[in-house]
Structure 1
Amino acid sequence: MTRGIPLSGDFANGGVSFWYRQIGLPDRRAALPGSRAYDVAIVGGGYTGLWTAYYLKKADPGLRVAILEKEFAGFGASGRNGGWLSAEFAGSRERHAQARGRQAMIDLQRAMFGAVDEVIGVTREEDVDADVYKGGVLHVATNPAQRRRLRAEVADLRAWGYGEDDMRLLSRDEQRERLQVAGTLEAAYSPHCARVQPAKLAVGLARVVAGLGVDVFENTTVTEIRPRRDGRPAEAVTPRGAVSAEYVIRATEGFTAGLTGQRRQWLPMNSSMIVTEPLPPEVWKHIGWAQNELLGDTAHAYIYAQRTADDRIAIGGRGVPYRFGSRTDDRGVTQASTVALLWRMLVKLFPAAADARVQHSWCGVLGVPRDWCSTVHLDHATGLGWAGGYVGSGVTTANLAGRTLRDLVLRHDTELTALPWVGRQVRQWEPEPLRWAGVHLIYTLYRAADRHENDRGTTTSAYARLADLISGR
């Protein structure tokens, strides 16, 4: 099924990400031993849950905090993503500005800039070795339509408070000095991004959080979250017992649909990755990439890539975008057609790597709200809170969410709690089969738009404009 793709002799597909294959799976912690009571119960042991627990215990060591995780901490997108510690924030800036004004959206963007450095600072302070390197991010355009969009995006960012030091177009010589991407017509650079090894970050955070006294229960499936009512506290219900708490925080992101009553809340979008074997020095001489920038293109069905700490190329993009009924991925197994698609993209961008072998492929799910805008919220009346819907920008956004949830739980009015994504309410996704048909139509149109623009388009394809209209982006 992967005919024509050079696979290494120890090629692996699915089960776990390459990031965990590199460091080994962590030993699982004990499951919930029975019903318990806490001050704060967090459902989900990914970045959002871990950061929320971290900042709560740092602010008030006496708080009783528990994390309830179905698999192990970092099993989901937190241990499978592309390793972009990026200041890019999901959703329309105009939509976020409608809530609390234009300056509030600019403040949100500045908070994301700061969150990149906050994560880096915590990894240093807590001795979490996650292969962090702040080399920025490079976005490339490889056809005239993409170039128009990239230039327009940089101009629009100026109007939203970005300075020349925050995002700028590169000269031809600057782009070539940084990274040789075949067919590049234009490139933009932002310093507000760092490479991370996602699983190392998740495992390290889990270790730190447990060391602070947070009870991390793994192999513990939460089936339902119940609000505070009739004098009873909020609850997270599991087959092993119920966990009651003053506040129950939902931090399940792409796995939210598995909770009772949440099937249409956030759509679990699938994203896939492949990684090469380590590339020899002579290949890197052709490619460059000495500053370890993260790399993205400006296609509609876009790719994202990094040069890993051990000199591989890891590249990702959409495979099968969505499974009927909001089902999640088959434990990381990637379709052969998706592996082939990503390999073709890698070779197209980096012809010098055409002889490199693919060593691993995997996939995972991320959460997408109906308006594609991230949210964080806490309802003091019901005792329920949540954060997520990061649409693939969660490595950094989860940190901002954790600090914001801390302030909301502790009832502190801060600059973070005033940001426009706080308390945002979004309508649910359509019922099936409309949901499945709509998502697959959207990505069929995006791929058609990319083909049209690569062949002869000088402006954004009408297929993409129709897809944007249907998706509500």
Structure 2
Amino acid sequence: MRGIPLTRDFANGGVSFWYRQIGLPARRPALPGPRDYDVAIVGGGYTGLWTAYYLKKADPGLRIAILEKEFAGFGASGRNGGWLSAEFAGSRKRHAKARGKQAMIDLQRAMFASVDEVIDVTRAEGIDADVHKGGLIHVATNPAQRRRLRAEVADLRRWGYGEADMRIMERAEQRERVQVAGAIEAAYSPHCARIQPAKLAVGLAAVVAGLGVDIYEDTTVTEIRPRNGGGKATALTTRGDVTAEYVIRATEGFTASLHGQHRQWLPMNSSMIVTDPLPPDVWKHIGWQGSELLEDEAHAYVYAQRTADDRIAIGGRGVPYRFGSRTDRRGVTQSQTVALLWRMLVKLFPAAVDVPVAHAWCGVLGVPRDWCSTVHLDHASGLGWACGYVGSGVTTTNLAGRTLRDLVLRRDTPLTRLPWVGRQVRQWEPEPLRWIGVQLIYALFRAADRHENERGTRTSPYAHLANFIAGR
């Protein structure tokens, strides 16, 4: 990492910067032995916490348990980029195919509303998560990216986005909001807020526990079994079996660790770095006074936020996948990934070249074979799940939690009629095809970015091939 300025106490791995900032939460007790509940939720991230929150609010008498291998918020919920965004994973056309175009428009509008729902809950429950709704800026830095950005904004008009929901920015407005080097076009959406993700996870877990939900940490679930005859569904753990009317799988990128789920969701790795606080004279060059979230239009894209304490946190894929669906080594990030993210940081913000990098970490997210999120509950087997957010999970988990509430309580609501409900996804290919395919996809994306940066005015054929292989 020669040439990268690092702070003296630079940390790489172990925990995210977000937890380094607030400290790790005290561990809750493990499962004390076999137990029986109305609803057992496997996974203590946002999906599990929101599901428990809304179920308990709707029916305080429900006996609910969350079973978590580490601690609530350990995974992507405490390691993500802090985007509370209305963007939804997957192809709009695929979702529309299930229940029609209007259903997909309804889903998009539900995502708009979910951004504000999360903000409202943090306020109502007293969760201080550094929430600031400044919107989202997409930036194009070459002609091919500009062409894609314009086409995307035009296409969104068909899927529930009005002019006020996403628009191409005037150059003067773009420069006034944030100075991104090389930017030739930008689009703005108000439907996004910055959060400190670990604060949200820790605060939500405390609220859920306060409602009477049992959160068992240091409790590894090894297998989930459906009802057997007239019995209950079961979560098998290393500390005893938990039976329940419904067992909800909320394991996202860690799903492959469960028996029989090895090929269900592909665990995709994403990495981040965060700088020291930038001095005022550097912010004068950059602007970014509105603390909007920021993303470029490259295929191997990066995403960034200005934190509440005036740092820049920026992320990207790094090493996207580990053979055999293995997950990250507790957040350790490769030095070459740190270098890559730092180069992207100074490319976008040259004024920050001398600001040291304070921390680096990584996390894992879940990717379905068709890249489309899904939520499901089968009353016959007693099993349900919500997964496959593909990096857009901070808001989607809230929508999933409210949808699972309605499904568990057998309510027929607008949420249960959305097109992602009940969506079935085929499994990923076996190894080594899975590993070869993902490596090829991201090699092609990187080649496409190089091609477009050098001379491309249209999307590179390499990117089209990558998307074809990916099945996106």
Q: Where on the TM-score scale, by shorter chain, does this alignment land: which range?
A: over 0.9
Match of 2:28 in 1: 29
Paired residue for 2:401? 402
**Could you tell me which residue of structure 2 aligns to residue 134 of structure 1?**
133
Q: Report the equivalent of 1:222.
A: 221
The residue correspondences of 1:32-111 to structure 2 (distance < 5 A) are 32-111=31-110
1:312 aligns with 2:307: no
Q: One-letter code of the match for 1:12? A: A
1:171 is matched with: 170
**Cα displacement (A) at 1:3:** 1.1
Q: Which amino acid aligns with 1:415?
A: P
The reply to whether residue 213 of structure 1 matches residue 212 of structure 2 is yes
Do 2:104 and 2:419's aligned partners in 1 also have CA atoms closer than 8 Å?
yes
Residue 279 (structure 2) aligns with: 280
Q: Kindly tell me the number of residue pairs found equivalent between the two proteins.
A: 472
Q: Does 1:269 align with 2:268?
A: yes
Amino acid at match of 1:307: R
Residue 221 of structure 2 aligns to a residue whose secondary structure is coil
What's the counterpart of residue 237 of structure 1?
236
User: Are residues 1:451 and 2:450 paired?
Assistant: yes
Partner of residue 338, structure 1: 337
Q: Does 1:326 align with 2:325?
A: yes
Q: Distance in 1 between matches of 2:455 and 2:355?
A: 31
3-state DSSP of counterpart to 1:271 = strand
The 2-side partners of 1:461 and 1:99 are apart by 30
Distance in 2 separating the partners of 1:218 and 1:147: 47
The one-letter code matched in structure 2 to 1:335 is: Q
Q: What amino acid sits opposite 1:257 in the alignment?
A: A
CA distance in 1, matches of 2:92, 2:429: 24
| Residue 229 (structure 1) shift | 1.2
User: What's the secondary structure of 1:223's corresponding residue?
Assistant: strand
Deviation at 1:161, TM superposition (A): 2.2
Work out the CA distance in 2 between the residues paired with 1:311 and 1:423: 42
Please give the secondary structure, in 1, of the residue aligned with 2:429: coil
Structure 1 residue 279: Cα displacement: 0.4
Within 5 Å, give how 1:133-212 maps onto structure 2: 133-212=132-211
Distance 2:405 2:317 in 1: 33
Q: Distance in 2 between matches of 1:318 and 1:440?
A: 12
Per-residue deviation, residues 394-447 of structure 1 (Å, max 9, x unmatched): 000000000000000000000000000000000000000000000000000000
Shift of 1:63: 0.1
2-structure distance, mates of 1:4, 1:138:
29
Sequence identity (%): 83
CA distance in structure 2 between the partners assigned to 1:337 and 1:159 by the alignment: 41
- The structural deviation recorded for 1:259 is 0.2
Query: CA shift at 1:159, angstroms?
Result: 1.7
> 2-side partners of 1:108 and 1:295: how far apart?
23
Q: Distance in 2 between matches of 1:134 and 1:269?
A: 27
1:232 alignment partner, SS class: coil
Contact in 1 for aligned 2:106/2:160 (Cα 8 Å):
no
> What is the root-mean-square deviation of aligned Cα atoms in Å?
0.4
Q: Take 2:239 and 2:191, find their aligned partners in 1: how far apart are those partners?
A: 43
Structure 2: tracts of 5 or more residues without a match: none
Q: Name stretches of at least 5 consecutive residues in structure 1 with no aligned partner.
A: none
Give the equivalent residue in structure 2 for 1:289. Answer: 288
Q: Secondary structure at the match of 2:410?
A: coil
Matched, 1:302 2:277: no
Q: What is the CA distance between 1:293 and its match in structure 2?
A: 0.2
CA distance in 1, matches of 2:257, 2:360: 25
Q: Are residue 386 (structure 1) and residue 385 (structure 2) matched?
A: yes
Partner Cα distance (2:231, 2:105) in 1 = 40
TM-score normalised by structure 2 residue count: 1.00
Distance in 2 between the 1:159 and 1:269 partners? 30
Cα deviations across residues 232-266 of structure 1 (Å, max 9, x unaligned)?
A: 20000001000000000000000000000000000
* CA deviation map 1:100-128 (0-9, x unaligned): 00000000000000000000000000000
